[in-house]
A and B are shown apart, each in its own frame.
Chain A
Amino acid sequence: MHEISVMQSAIEIAIESAKAQNATQIHRINMRIGALAGVVPDSLEFAFPIVCQGTMAEGATLEIEYVPALCRCSSCASEFEPKDFFYECPNCKALTVDLLHGKELDLAFLEVS
Chain B
Amino acid sequence: MDSTDHAKRAEAEQRTIVINQGVLSKNDLLARSNRTLFKSKNLLTMNIVSSPGSGKTAFIERTLTDLKGRLRGGVVVGDLATDNDAKRIARSGAPAIQITTGDTCHLDAEMVAEATAKLDLDALDVLIIENVGNLVCPSGYDLGEDLRVVMLSTTEGEDKPLKYPTMFKTADVVILNKMDIAEVLGFDRDTAWSNIHRLTPQALIFEVSARTGLGMETWYQFLEQRLALANQP
Given contacts A1-B105, A38-B139, contact A86 B199 (CB under 8 A): yes
CB distance from B35 to the nearest CB of A (A): 18
Indicate the size class of the contact surface on chain A. Answer: 35 or more
- On chain B, the residues within 8 Å of A14 by CB distance are 19
Is B12's beta carbon under 8 Å from chain A?
yes
Closest to A97 in B: B202
Closest to A14 in B: B19
Given contacts A97-B200, A113-B12, contact A105 B22 (CB under 8 A): yes
Is B140's beta carbon under 8 Å from chain A?
yes
- On chain A, the residues within 8 Å of B134 by CB distance are 1
CB distance from A9 to the nearest CB of B (A): 5
The reply to whether A105 and B23 form a contact with Cβ atoms under 8 Å apart is: yes
- On chain B, the residues within 8 Å of A112 by CB distance are 14-17
CB distance from A39 to the nearest CB of B (A): 7
Alpha-carbon distance between A105 and B14 when the two chains are bound, in angstroms: 25
Given contacts A36-B169, A113-B14, contact A86 B23 (CB under 8 A): no
1-51 of chain A: CB within 8 A of chain B: 1-2, 5-6, 9-10, 13-14, 17-18, 21-24, 27, 31, 36-39
Alpha-carbon distance between A104 and B106 when the two chains are bound, in angstroms: 19
Is A65's beta carbon under 8 Å from chain B?
no
CB distance from A83 to the nearest CB of B (A): 12
The reply to whether A17 and B17 form a contact with Cβ atoms under 8 Å apart is: yes
125-153 of chain B: CB within 8 A of chain A: 134, 136-137, 139-140
- Interface mask (B197-208 → A, CB under 8 Å = 1, otherwise 0): 111111000000
The reply to whether A1 and B198 form a contact with Cβ atoms under 8 Å apart is: no
Is A63's beta carbon under 8 Å from chain B?
no
Given contacts A22-B11, A24-B11, contact A2 B105 (CB under 8 A): yes
Is A66's beta carbon under 8 Å from chain B?
no
- On chain B, the residues within 8 Å of A6 by CB distance are 23-24, 140
- On chain A, the residues within 8 Å of B198 by CB distance are 86, 88, 95
Alpha-carbon distance between A113 and B8 when the two chains are bound, in angstroms: 11
- On chain B, the residues within 8 Å of A21 by CB distance are 17
Task: Name the contact of A1 in the complex, choosing from B22, B24, B136 (C-beta under 8 A).
Answer: B136
- On chain A, the residues within 8 Å of B25 by CB distance are 13
Alpha-carbon distance between A108 and B7 when the two chains are bound, in angstroms: 25
Is B214's beta carbon under 8 Å from chain A?
no
154-173 of chain B: CB within 8 A of chain A: 162, 165-167, 169
Known: A86-B198, A97-B200, A104-B22. 4 other contacts (CB 8 A): A2-B137, A24-B11, A108-B19, A108-B20
